[in-house]
Amino acid sequence: MTIDNVKDCRNFYIKGRAVGLTEFLMDDYKPFYQTWKDISTQRNFNTMHYWESYEDFLALFTNPDRPPQRFNATIVRLKDQISVGRISLAPAHLEPDLGIWIYKPFRFKGYGTEAVQLSVEFIFREFDLEYIVAGIYEHNQTSINLFTKAGFFRVPELDEVEDNDFGDGKITQLGFRINKAQDSRKAKTPDDIKMQ
Residue 8: pLDDT band by 50, 70, 90 thresholds? low
Residue 5, sorted as left (phi over 0), alpha (psi -120 to 50) or beta, turns out to be: beta
Q: Which residue has the higher pLDDT, 136 or 196?
A: 136
> Which domain, by its residues, includes 20?
4-195
Question: Which residues, 6 or more positions from 37, have their beta carbon under 8 angstroms from its beta carbon?
Answer: 49
CATH code for the domain of 18: 3.40.630.30
Residues in the chain: 196
The number of folded domains in the chain is: 1
175 in Cβ contact with 135 (< 8 Å): yes
pLDDT in tens, 35-51: 988 888 999 999 988 78
DSSP 41-67: HHHHTT-----SSHHHHHHHHT-TTSP
Q: Which uninterrupted H or E stretch holds 190?
A: helix 190-195
Is residue 183 predicted with pLDDT exceeding 70? Answer: no
pLDDT at 109 over 60: yes
Which whole-number Å values give the CA distances from 107 to 83, 84, 85, 162, 182, in the listed order? 12, 9, 9, 27, 27
Give mean pLDDT, residues 73-79: 97
40 vs 196, which has greater pLDDT? 40
